[in-house]
């Protein structure tokens, strides 16, 4: 009986370890592999033969792993390039040495491309190793799937912080603007999710070129109408010429030295400079939005865990390689949300960004449609029963720190 390997790549999420836990637990329920090795620091550590034996984690450790945020194996941003035979040979040699038949790679767009590239190389070089992808990303920008594990929990904490900070903002009478900034790279999924809270006045997404004059007109209108304006901006928002809003108006005007910081800070300053209100508050969700183990979505944890199990179970078929497992949306007999698990060729998942649908965006920065709200709501539903210790959700010591 051979072994398997599982590794994590790219930005961490609140549930990426739940997928890891799913692979480990599935192998305890049906030991297809003698050992489940964890590769430390993604592909980088695997190339260095840095592995950790995860086979016999206890049930309690698996429960803790499911509620431990970030990548418990460590992660990397290293991308295996097609044509880089040295890396590919090195990887296969590590796998051979450890008798590893299958590698599960938990990651985003780039990692799904790595799964495809490795599978292709193995086929071309007649080596038996197989490669299977398990998606994750808080950006939710992967094609083919309804959504990516990790995104629902990020959306849930983003909504919770939006609502809490809106109430904080709404308690005051003084004229000031509130700007919340979210991650999401070039896709507006996470920023748009904040609208589910019902508190967002204006929304700036990467999917719509930023028009400063038009935007400031809308800000002015909100203050005239209701005396307040709660704005959400995605870090990837940009002008029509591609300049990021975060680079500041001066950069947009060709003065590249004036990099002011995040998009939120720039938007706030723009509104003050326009004389609309004299002050503002910026809340940059930054890393807190993607590693929020204290605000996991139960739907998300469950699906991430089950995708790990699904990948392991499907790998029992010796022909199963170069594939990615994912979730499609369906409804049960009552019309309620239900997840449908599937697998598809890795090449169909790789290197394409799924943007937030423009038909779900209301004109003039006014937020998102009811259809978009209906997309989000089932994803952020439910809260896992967390195990607490000394007032904090208990976590496992990361394997890369042992």
Binding site for a second copy (CB under 8 A): 8, 12, 14, 41, 44, 68-72, 74-77, 156-157, 159-161, 163-165, 167-174, 196-197, 261, 265, 281-288, 290-295, 297, 377, 380-383, 388, 390-393, 395, 398, 400-401
The three-state secondary structure class of 398 is: coil
- Nearest by Cα to 378 from 294, 287, 303, 288: 303
CA torsion sign for 39, 40, 46, 52 is: negative
Determine contact, residues 170/228, Cβ cutoff 8 Å. yes
Task: Name the residue nearer to a second copy (CB basis): 17 or 321.
Answer: 17
- DSSP class of 261: S
Task: Name the residue nearer to a second copy (CB basis): 78 or 341.
Answer: 78
CA torsion sign for 221, 222, 223, 227 is: positive
CA dist 182 and 262 (Å) reads 10
Shortest distance (Å) from residue 290 CB to a second copy: 7
Task: Name the residue nearer to a second copy (CB basis): 362 or 392.
Answer: 392
Shortest distance (Å) from residue 380 CB to a second copy: 4
Task: Name the residue nearer to a second copy (CB basis): 211 or 394.
Answer: 394
Structure tokens at 61: 């450790």
Task: Name the residue nearer to a second copy (CB basis): 3 or 150.
Answer: 150
HSE of 198, CA atoms in CB hemisphere, 13 A: 3
Task: Name the residue nearer to a second copy (CB basis): 199 or 207.
Answer: 199
- The per-residue DSSP string of 163-228 comes to HHHHHHHHT--S-EEEEEEE--TT--HHHHHGGGGS--SEEE-TTS-B-HHHHHHHHHHHHHHHS-
Choice among 116, 139, 199, 284 that is catalytic:
139
Is position 284 annotated as part of the catalytic site? no
Shortest distance (Å) from residue 152 CB to a second copy: 9
Structure tokens at 208: 């719509």
Treating both helix axes as pointing N-terminal to C-terminal, what angle do 109-124 and 85-97 enclose, rounded to 10 degrees? 80
Which residues carry out catalysis?
139
């Amino acid at each position: 009986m051979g072994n398997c390997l599982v590794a994590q790549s790219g930005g961490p999420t609140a549930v990426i370890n739940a997928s890891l836990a799913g692979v480990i637990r599935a192998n305890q329920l049906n030991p297809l592999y003698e050992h489940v090795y964890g590769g430390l620091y993604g592909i980088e550590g695997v190339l260095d033969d840095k592995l950790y034996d995860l086979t016999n984690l206890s049930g309690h450790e698996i429960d803790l792993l499911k509620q431990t945020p970030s990548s418990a194996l460590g992660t990397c941003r290293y991308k295996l390039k097609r044509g880089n035979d040295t890396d590919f040979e090195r990887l296969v040699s590590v796998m051979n040495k450890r008798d590893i038949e299958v590698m599960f790679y938990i990651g985003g767009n780039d990692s799904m491309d790595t799964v495809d590239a490795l599978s292709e190389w193995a086929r071309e070089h007649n080596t038996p190793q197989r490669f299977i992808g398990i998606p994750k990303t808080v950006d939710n920008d992967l094609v083919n799937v309804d959504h990516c594990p990790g995104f629902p929990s990020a959306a849930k904490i983003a909504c919770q912080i939006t609502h809490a900070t809106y109430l904080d903002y709404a308690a005051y009478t003084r004229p000031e603007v509130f700007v919340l900034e979210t991650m999401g790279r070039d896709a507006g999924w996470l920023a748009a999710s904040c609208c589910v809270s019902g508190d967002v006045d204006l929304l700036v997404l990467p999917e719509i070129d930023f028009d400063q004059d038009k935007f400031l007109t809308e800000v002015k209108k909100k203050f005239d109408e209701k005396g307040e304006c709660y704005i959400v901006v995605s870090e990837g928002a940009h002008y029509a010429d591609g300049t990021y809003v975060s680079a500041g108006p001066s950069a947009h005007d060709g003065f590249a030295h004036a990099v002011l910081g995040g998009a939120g800070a720039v938007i706030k300053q723009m509104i003050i400079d326009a004389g609309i209100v004299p002050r503002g508050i910026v809340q940059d969700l930054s890393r807190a939005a993607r590693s929020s183990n204290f605000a996991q979505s139960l739907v998300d944890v469950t699906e991430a865990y089950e995708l790990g199990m699904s990948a392991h179970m499907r790998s029992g078929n010796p022909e199963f390689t170069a594939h990615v497992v994912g979730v499609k949306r369906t409804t049960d007999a009552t019309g309620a949300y239900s997840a449908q698990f599937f697998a598809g060729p890795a090449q169909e998942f790789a290197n394409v960004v799924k943007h937030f649908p423009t038909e779900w965006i209301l004109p003039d920065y006014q937020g998102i449609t009811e259809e978009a709200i209906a997309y989000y709501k089932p994803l952020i539903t439910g809260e896992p029963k967390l195990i607490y210790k000394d007032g904090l959700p208990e976590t496992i010591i990361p394997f890369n720190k042992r």
